[in-house]
Structure 1
Amino acid sequence: MPTVSAIVVTYHTGPRLHECLYALRSDPGISETIIVDNGNPAESTAWIDRFVAGSDTVRLVRTGGNPGFGAGVNRGAAAALGDMLLVINPDAVIRRGSIADLLAALEDQPEPALVGGRIFDVSGREARGCRRNTLTLWRALGLGKWVLDEMPGPAGPVPVGAVSGAFFLMPRAAFEALHGFDEGYFMHVEDVDLCRRVVEAGGAVIYQPLAGALHYGSTSEVPSPLVQAHKARSLARYFRKFAKGPLERALVGAVSPLIGVALKLRG
Structure 2
Amino acid sequence: MSGRAQTAALVVTYHTGPRLIECLYALKADPEISEIVIADNGNPPEVQAWLEGFITGCAGQAKLLRLDNPGFGAAVNRAARETAAERLLVINPDCVIRRGSAGQLAAALEGAAAPAIVGGRIFGIDGREQRGARRNTLTLMAALGLSRWTLENEPPPSGPVAVGAISGAFFLMRRADFEQLGGFDEGYFLHVEDVDLCRRATEAGGSVIYQPAAGALHYTSTSDVPSAFVQAQKARSLARYFRKFAKGPLERGMVELAVPFIGLALRLRS
TM-score (norm 2): 0.96
Cα distance per residue 1:23-76 (max 9 Å; x no partner) = 00111100000000011111111111111111121111111x110000010000
Q: Does residue 83 in structure 1 map to residue 76 in structure 2?
A: no
Q: Distance in 2 between matches of 1:239 and 1:247?
A: 13
SS of the counterpart of 2:11?
A: strand
Find out whether 1:62 has 2:62 as its counterpart. no
Cα deviations by residue, 1:139-171 (Å, 9 ceiling, x for unpaired): 334554211111000010000010000000000
The amino acid across from 2:65 in the alignment is V
Task: From 138, 148, 153, give the equivalent of 2:141.
Answer: 138
Q: How big is each residue's C-alpha offset from its partner over 1:194-238, in whole Å with a ceiling of 9 and x where there is no partner? A: 000000000000000000000000100001000000000000000
Q: Which amino acid is 1:33 matched to?
A: I
**Any stretches of 5+ residues in structure 2 without a counterpart?**
none
Choose which of 188, 209, 214 in structure 1 pairs with 2:212: 209
For the residue of structure 2 that corresponds to 1:135, the secondary structure is coil
Comparing 13-22 with 133-142, greater Cα deviation is found at 133-142
Unaligned runs of 5+ in 1: none
5 Å-filtered alignment, 1:1-267, equals 1-55=4-58, 56-63=60-67, 65-142=68-145, 144-267=147-270
RMSD over aligned Cα atoms: 1.0
The 3-state SS of whatever aligns with 2:81 is helix
1:158-201 Cα shifts (integer Å, max 9, x gaps): 00010000000000111011110000000000000000000000
SS of 1:147's equivalent?
coil
Amino acid paired to 2:100: G
Stretches (4+) displaced over 6 A: none
Deviation at residue 138 of structure 1 after TM alignment: 3.2
Count of residues in correspondence between the two structures: 266
Identity over the aligned pairs, expressed in percent?
67
